[in-house]
A = this chain, B = another copy of it.
Amino acid sequence: MNKIRLHSTGRRIALMLLALLLAPALASAQDVSQEMFTVNNTWMLVATFLVFIMHLGFACLESGLTRAKNTVNILFKNTSIIAIGLLTYAFVGFNLMYPGDFSIGQFFGFAGMGLDPGPEGNTVAYADGAYTYWTDFIFQGMFAATAATIVSGAVAERIKLGSFMVFTTIYVAFIYPIAGSWKWGAGWLDQMGFYDFAGSTLVHSVGGWAALAGIIVLGSRVGKYLADGKIRPVAGHSMPLATIGVFLLWLGWYGFNGGSVLSADPELVSLVFVTTSLAAAGGIVGAMGASWTFQKKPDLSMVLNGSLAGLVGITAGADTVSVNASILIGLVAGVIVVLSVLAFDRAKIDDPVGALSVHLVCGIWGTLAVGLFSTNPEHSFVTQLIGVAAYGAFCFVAAFIIFLALKATMGIRVDPEEERIGLDVAEHGMESYGGFSITHS
Contact = CB atoms under 8 A, between A and B. Distances in A.
A391 interface: no
Interface string A17-43: 101100111101000011111111111
Contacts of A264: 38-39, 41-42
Contact of A42 (B39, B301, B432): B39
Interface in A284-337: 284-285, 288, 295-301, 303-304, 307, 323-324, 327
Interface string A401-418: 000000000000000000
A32 to B, nearest CB: 9
A20 B25 contact: yes
Interface of A: 16-17, 19-20, 23-26, 28, 33-43, 45-46, 48-50, 52-53, 55-56, 59-60, 63-64, 67-69, 71-72, 75-76, 78-80, 82-84, 86-87, 90, 114-115, 122-124, 131-135, 137-138, 141, 161, 235-241, 243-244, 246-248, 250-251, 254, 258, 264-267, 269-271, 273-274, 277-278, 280-282, 284-285, 288, 295-301, 303-304, 307, 323-324, 327, 427-441
A42 B43 contact: yes
Nearest to A124: B266
B437 A437 contact: yes
How many copies of this kind of chain does the complex include? 3
Contact of A323 (B16, B115, B269, B324): B115
* Centre residue among A35, A71, A86, A301 by max chain B CB count within 10 A: A35
Task: Name which of A131, A237, A274 has the most chain B CB atoms within 10 A of its CB.
Answer: A274
A114 B134 CA distance: 40
A303 B247 contact: no
